[in-house]
Structure 1
Amino acid sequence: MLLATLALRVGKPVERDELITAIWPDDPPPSAQATLRGYVKRLRRVLMTGAGEEISAVRATDGGYVLCLPEDNVDLVRFRRLVALAAVRRDVYGELPLLQRALALWRGPAFVDVSSPALRPGVVNTLHEEYLRAREREVEIRLRLGQYGWLIPELAALVADNPLRETLWYQLVLALHLNGRQAEALAHYESLRELLADSLGTDPSPLMRDLHQRILSGKPMRTAC
Structure 2
Amino acid sequence: MHFLPEKLDQYVVAHSQDEPKLLQQLTRETYQKVLQPIMLSGPYQGRVLSMISKLVRPKTILELGTFTGYATLCLAEGLQNDGTIHTIDINEELIDFQRAYFNRSNYGKQITQHLGSALDIIPALDTTFDLVFIDADKPNYVNYFHLIIDQLNAGGIILSDNVLWHGKVIEPLDEKDVSTKAVLAFNKLLKEDDRIETVLLPIRDGLTISRKK
Q: TM-score, normalised on structure 1?
A: 0.24
Larger radius of gyration: 1
The structure richer in strand per residue is 2
Higher relative contact order (CA 8 A, sep 6+): 2
Q: TM-score, normalised on structure 2?
A: 0.25
